[in-house]
Amino acid sequence: MPIGTTLTQFIIEEQRRIAGATGDFTALLNDLATSIKVISNAVNKGALIGVMGTLESENVQGETQKKLDVITNDIMLRHNEWAGHLAGMASEEMDEVYAIPGQYPLGKYLLVFDPLDGSSNVDINISVGTIFSILRAPVANRAAGTEDFLQPGVKQVCAGYALYGSSTMLVLTTGHGVNGFTLDREVGEFLLTHPNMRIPEDTKEFAINTSNRRFWEAPVQRYVEECLAGKEGPRGKDFNMRWVASMVAEVHRILTRGGIFMYPRDTKDPAKPGKLRLLYEANPMSMIVEQAGGASSTGYERILDIQPEGLHQRVAVILGSKNEVEVVVEYHRTA
Ligand code: AHG
Ligand code: MN
Ligand code: MN
């Protein structure tokens, strides 16, 4: 579809290609796009509207909540609960599944999200994002329970993220490639600016929080050491490094110019196999990355194949340029 196509036209035309589509999914995506516009507005106005700062509360992960974590979670709930497309929602910021209030009809989809990713960056005016994943409810029109959400990533109907950067973008996949839209604030619409995004297969750029280095497992230690050794080392080329601490921003960079992103398993807290959460961070990002020709693994297995056991389950994440991820996976295989 041509550059400048509105998101609305794009999803309606995609829907027309699917026999038997009812329009429910299209309408759900429209509501999601609205929530993202509202979040973008709040993030952008920032201190002008008093949304900055930290709360006393902690979320289920034991992380202190930013005011904006709670505000953006609420925006997602309010804009997606009423229309009758969902049988339930789950979020990083809610311990349990969110039941659709009784006055609204139930639908056939489940929505899972990280309403504000990279929230440690919000007070310092660095890019943050929203990550979402849409699943089919095992039973339509019935209030969903936790079990219903525990589907492997390969079952996702749609995955996407919004990046609140120097411009606001919405990047999404429904399993037919990845497309990026930029919010035109004056027009109030997302317009197609990045059709068919593809991740270069090779890269010289890696992203990892090296302050955790002493806790990494041997294969990751080896990989990073070899990157740092540069031209003279076994990889025979110089690498560059980036760490934004907003997964959305890292994945967006990788979709734009390639790279590898790692939040690997480490020994810091043996109870936590990685930092990132499977259902609303790793799975949607892995679907996007694979759809753009990249790869995504824990080092030991493909992320999209993992059978989830809990809503807030954590997982190791190694994703990005295909050949580079393959190198790290190979180091795990032969360790
Ligand atoms: P969230 O703000 O939703 O809790 O996620 C933050 C995540 C991810 O976006 C980022 O890659 C990572 O945490 C940063 O971790 P460090 O603070 O350890 O660098
Ligand atoms: Mn996050
Ligand atoms: Mn978050």
The string of pLDDT tens digits covering residues 71-83 is 999 999 999 999 9
Phi, psi (deg, nearest 5) at residue 275: -100, -35
pLDDT tier, 60 (very low <50, low <70, confident <90, very high otherwise): confident
Query: To the nearest 10°, the Cα dihedral for 210, 212, 215, 218?
Result: -20
Q: Residues spanned by CATH 3.30.540.10 within the chain?
A: 7-194
Q: Is the pLDDT higher at 22 or at 287?
A: 287
Average pLDDT value over all residues in the chain: 96
Using DSSP, state whether 68 is helix, strand or coil: helix
- Model confidence at 317: pLDDT above 80: yes
- Model confidence at 22: pLDDT above 90: no
Probe target for ligand 1 pocket from 61, 91, 246, with the most ligand atoms within 8 Å of CB: 246
Sheet harboring 295-297: ordered strands across?
240-241, 205-207, 260-263, 317-320, 295-297
Both tokens of residue 107?
């639908």
Tokens 């589907």 sit on residue: 151
Instruction: Specify the pLDDT at position 19.
Output: 76
DSSP tag of 187: T
- Model confidence at 17: pLDDT above 90: no
Q: Residues spanned by CATH 3.40.190.80 within the chain?
A: 205-334
Angle separating helix axes 24-45 and 67-80, nearest 10 degrees:
150
Tokens 């490639």 sit on residue: 177
Closest CA to 190 of 213, 161, 224, 157: 161
Q: Average pLDDT for residues 111-139, to the nearest whole number?
A: 97
Instruction: Specify the pLDDT at position 59.
Output: 82
Instruction: Specify the pLDDT at position 307.
Output: 98
- Model confidence at 10: pLDDT above 90: yes
pLDDT tier, 272 (very low <50, low <70, confident <90, very high otherwise): confident
Probe target for ligand 1 pocket from 117, 122, 272, with the most ligand atoms within 8 Å of CB: 117
Q: Which CATH class is domain 7-194?
A: alpha beta
Q: Average pLDDT for residues 269-295, to the nearest whole number?
A: 96
What whole-number percentage of the chain has pLDDT above 70?
Answer: 100
Instruction: Specify the pLDDT at position 21.
Output: 82
> Separation of 233 CA from ligand 1 center, angstroms?
30
Cβ neighbours of residue 248 under 8 Å, at least 6 residues apart? 117, 118, 127, 128, 129, 130, 131, 161, 162, 163
Is there an atom of ligand 1 within 6 Å of 115 CB? no
> Separation of 248 CA from ligand 2 center, angstroms?
8
CA atoms of 96 and 183, how far apart (whole Å): 32
Is there an atom of ligand 1 within 6 Å of 319 CB? no
In the CATH scheme, what architecture does the domain 205-334 have?
Answer: 3-Layer(aba) Sandwich (3.40)
Nearest residue by C-alpha to atom 19 in ligand 1: 245
Q: pLDDT by residue (tens digit) across 203-221? A: 999 999 999 999 999 999 9
Tell me which ligand sits closest to the C-alpha of residue 209.
Answer: 1
Phi, psi (deg, nearest 5) at residue 261: -120, 135
